[in-house]
Amino acid sequence: MHKPADRIRNVALIGHRGSGKTSLHEALLFEAKATNRLGSVLDGTTVSDSEPDEQSRKMSISLALSSFEWDGRKINLIDTPGEPSFVADALGAMRVCESAVFVVNGVMGAEVTTRRLWARAEELDLARMIFVNMLDRERADFFRTLESLKDAFGGHVVATEIPIGSEQDVCGIVDLVDMKAYQYSNPTPASRDNCTEIEIPAELQDLAEEYREKMMDEICEVSDSLMERYLEGDEIAHDEIVGVLKDGTNHGSLFPVVCGVATRNLGTNRLLDAIVEDLPSPVKHGSLELPEITLDADPDAPLYAYVFKTRADPFAGRINLFRVYQGVMRHDSHVMNTTSHNKERVGQLLVFSGKESGHADEFGPGDIGAVAKLKETRAGDWLAERDEPISMPAIQLPAPVMAFAMEAQGDEDKVFTSLRRLQEEDPTIDLHRDEQTGDQIIAGLSQMHVEVVVERLKERFGAEVTLKPPRVPYMETIRKPAKAHGRHKKQSGGRGQFGDCHISIEPREPGAGFEFVNQIKGGVIPTSFIPAVEKGVVDAMQSGPIAGCPVKDVSVRLFDGSYHTVDSSEMAFKLAGSIAMREAMGNASPALLEPIMLVTLSIPEDSVGDVIGDLNSRRGRPQGMDSIGGGLTEVKAEVPMSEMLTYAPDLRSLTGGQGDYTMEFLRYEEVPAHLQQKIVAAATEQETISA
């Protein structure tokens, strides 16, 4: 039998890189008896960082699902990577969960990625709770962190616990709902039964009262009836407070904050209680409304399950993780894939709990599970009883801008099939052939992102590629309107060729893209040849007049032309279109464009001067800075991508290894005239080499 939907909690662990999500995931599994040993990220022994590259890099790269029981509920907990290069998995997990626990470093407060993903969680209408982690670290401060969270996420961020002790002496938690205190022993190795109830320490009594009052004020905001009774001084029962807390959290009007130390298993039993008590079940969170259909957590209705992650395993084959929204997914059954329109045989269903995976007979509505060996199914597809159109609103993913040309070593077929399987795992990887140079291109969100793909290719599939230095995706555009006439005419025996067109072109807003307007009147060009002219124009735009880069943001108007009843053909009009476009672009004051990146750095305060000086020498424009605690400053700057290709080692040496940065594409801008020459020369050189 499946777990009833009102007894399920789907929870994504979200937060900045290194805030302790994987360690917390590990501790929650341990506390819930899904594992017998508390693994550690440093030793590479956690359940969720199971890949060799995750262990060697000491960071999560892919999401990891674990399912376990706590207090009669089934918790599906998804650990996600904090590194922005792997944001696709964090967003994929948020898509299928009702709730997120944001894990925050108690030294650093609300960091960049946390803030960004908070906004995405808001868009996706997730119930949110915050776990302030790492309270045992030097300079960790729960109350300062709480203030930083309120600054970042507003006044409805409310502590339901406060810690006892601080830094290395942190030893327990005061629960503000019941005004009870808990002490945690600290044996090595960490143990499970480490929590005992104690009296609230005398020196914390006032502080606890103060924060309890703040909490009650916020909770009363959500419920008028509770407010009245609270003001009248009534005793309010645990269940009532928790009920209102859950309502508020479910609707995004309260964000409870709890705390602890993941690596010491301190506070995790309280967090599990809070997940059950404060976070909504799929039933409570409500139905999923899609353009075509509304899905309810009803086991008797037709099946709809959404695949949110595909994992490529060279031995076990493809594993798909799915969330059932309606109906029941059963083993040994058949379902329809509504994207590929294939009938899929569902053989074994898998459930991941701790280090091992087990088999399940079925997953009911609201549940999350896995299935191996489907033929045509991958992330983004729906599995359903009937093959009827259904779509999940797309999640906006960052564009893969870091592009490398690559060369397959050995068996090309094997390299490309394996790469495509890795691409199924991660939609932010782009593979394509460069039209200009014929190079095979692999692009990702960062250099590290692409390197990880190349390593996985070798590790999992034994296929190797070498990367050439990254190339900047320059573009071209025009700045002035221009007109041109294109004529293709050949009369060398037999049937001739004749195509003739007049076009005018003008610049469009940056980012507006390409537009083709047909203004032919009186049939001077027959309608059937007009798409050929457009095709010719588009072909010519693949290679701009300055450096042979693709041209963007141009509007093209076809307003005149002529034809020949016998000699005109699609080919002839296509060539005429290309000729006209090439000439028009040359006369339209063309400009070379380069990608500008938004670089977000977190660096030690005393290195800010050096780092900004260096960014200036890279044509960077600082956009502001912010102290983010722990002696670190966050600096944002806009910098041309071409200046950032080998930044990582430079930042390391500028900051004594303490600096970190992320980079994302912002927009295209014109290349300054004095640099254009150099880029054109480099482009020409490349052409000669590849020719």
Residues that bind ligand GTP (CB under 6 A): 15, 17-23, 40-42, 59-60, 81-83, 133-134, 136-137, 261-263
Q: What is the 3-class SS of 370-429, one letter each residue?
A: EEECCCCCCCCCEEECCCCCCCCCCCCCCCCCEEEEEEEECCHHHHHHHHHHHHHHCCCC
Other C-beta atoms within 10 Å of 20: how many?
26
Residue closer to ligand GTP by CB (options 19, 338) is 19
Least CB distance from residue 654 to ligand GTP, whole Å? 23
Residue nearest to ligand GTP (CB): 82
Query: Six-digit token pair at 438?
Result: 């014929």
Cβ distance to ligand GTP smaller for residue 140 or 176: 140
Q: CA 296 to CA 366: how far, in whole Å?
A: 9
Answer with the entry of Mg ion, ligand GTP, none that 23 interacts with (C-beta below 5 to 8 A by kind).
ligand GTP
Q: Which of 10, 19, 22, 194 binds Mg ion (CB under 5 A)?
A: 22
- 266 or 295, CB closer to ligand GTP? 266
Residue 136 binds what, of ligand GTP, Mg ion, none (CB under 5 to 8 Å, by partner type)? ligand GTP
**Residue number, 9 or 21, with CB nearest to Mg ion:** 21
Q: Which does 282 bind (CB under 5 to 8 A by kind): Mg ion, ligand GTP, none?
A: none
Smallest distance from Mg ion to CB 13, Å: 8
Nearer to ligand GTP, 377 or 447 (CB): 447
* Rounded Cα gap, residues 359 and 348, in angstroms: 7
Indicate the helix (H) or strand (E) that contains 432.
strand 430-433
Q: Which amino acid is at 144?
A: R
Q: Choose the binding region for Mg ion from 18-26, 285-293, 403-411, 446-454 (rule: CB under 5 A).
A: 18-26
Residue 658 β-bridge partners: none
User: How far is 688 from 474, CA to CA, in rounded Å?
Assistant: 18
The least CB distance from residue 426 to ligand GTP, in Å, is 15
Which residue number, 23 or 338, has a Cβ lying nearer to Mg ion? 23
Q: For Mg ion, how many residues bind (rule: CB under 5 A)?
A: 3
Minimum CB separation from ligand GTP for residue 261, in Å?
Answer: 4
Return d(Cα 463, Cα 414) in angstroms, integer: 7
Instruction: Give, as one character, the DSSP assignment of residue 662.
Output: E
Token code pair at residue 518:
């047909």
Is the CB of 163 or the CB of 427 nearer to ligand GTP? 163
Amino acid identity, position 591: A
At its nearest, how many Å lie between ligand GTP and the CB of residue 272? 16
For residue 189, say if its preceding peptide bond is cis, omega within 30 degrees of 0: yes
**CB of 30 vs Mg ion, minimal distance in Å:** 16
Any contact of residue 85 with Mg ion (CB under 5 A)? Answer: no
Q: Which x/- pattern over 626-645 shows residues binding Mg ion (rule: CB under 5 A)?
A: --------------------
SS (HEC) of 666-691? EEEEECCHHHHHHHHHHHHHHHHHHC
Closer to ligand GTP at the Cβ: 448 or 549? Answer: 448
State the Cα–Cα distance between residues 12 and 64, nearest whole angstrom: 10
Least gap, CB of 44 to ligand GTP (angstroms): 10
Best CA proximity match to 64, nearest among 325, 419, 383, 319: 319
Stretch that binds Mg ion, among 15-23, 224-232, 277-285, 680-688 (CB under 5 A): 15-23
504 binds, among ligand GTP, Mg ion, none (CB under 5 to 8 A by kind): none
Please give the Cα distance from 303 to 385 (Å, whole number): 5
CA Rg value for the chain? 29
Site track for Mg ion across 45-64, x = CB under 5 A: ---------------x----
Closest approach of ligand GTP to the CB of residue 319, in Å:
20
**Segment lying near Mg ion (by CB under 5 A), choices 13-21, 300-308, 450-458, 550-558:** 13-21
Let me know: does 473 contact 439? Beta carbons within 8 Å: no
CA separation for the pair 274, 159 (Å, rounded): 12
Nearer to ligand GTP, 186 or 437 (CB): 186
Least gap, CB of 89 to Mg ion (angstroms): 11
462 phi-psi bin (left φ>0, alpha ψ -120 to 50, beta other): left
Stretch that binds Mg ion, among 17-25, 240-248, 595-603, 644-652 (CB under 5 A): 17-25
- 86 versus 382: smaller Cβ distance to ligand GTP: 86
Tell me the closest approach of the beta carbon of residue 480 to ligand GTP, in angstroms.
48
Cβ closest to ligand GTP, residue 87 vs residue 321: 87
CB of 132 vs ligand GTP, minimal distance in Å: 10
Smallest gap from Cβ 417 to ligand GTP, in A, equals 29
Place of tokens 């502080």: 207
Q: Which is nearer to ligand GTP, 145 or 555 (CB)?
A: 145
Least separation, in Å, of the C-beta of 142 and ligand GTP?
12
List the single partner that 365 binds among Mg ion, ligand GTP, none, CB under 5 to 8 Å by kind: none
Instruction: Output the 3-class SS for 512-533.
Output: CCCEEEECCCCCCCCHHHHHHH
HSE-up of residue 473 (Cα within 13 Å, Cβ side): 23
Nearer to ligand GTP, 45 or 518 (CB): 45
* DSSP single-letter state for residue 328: -
* C-alpha–C-alpha distance, residues 108 and 137, integer Å: 11
DSSP string of 159-170, one letter each residue: ESEEEES-GGG-
Please say which residue, 111 or 367, places its beta carbon nearer to ligand GTP. 111
Closest approach of ligand GTP to the CB of residue 384, in Å: 33
Four-CA torsion 352, 356, 357, 358, nearest 10 degrees:
-110
DSSP code for 645: T
* Least distance to ligand GTP, CB of residue 86, Å: 8
Cα–Cα distance measured from residue 122 to residue 424, given in angstroms and rounded to the nearest whole number: 27
How are strands ordered across the β-sheet holding 180-184?
A: 161-164, 172-175, 180-184, 195-198
Residue 250 vs 263, nearer CB to ligand GTP: 263
Contacts of 17 (CB under 8 A, 6+ apart): 59, 81, 82, 83, 84, 113, 660
Half-sphere exposure of 92 (CA within 13 A, CB side): 32
Q: Which does 551 bind (CB under 5 to 8 A by kind): ligand GTP, Mg ion, none?
A: none
Interacting partner of 18 out of ligand GTP, Mg ion, none (Cβ under 5 to 8 A depending on kind): ligand GTP
Q: List contacts with Mg ion (CB under 5 A).
A: 21-22, 60
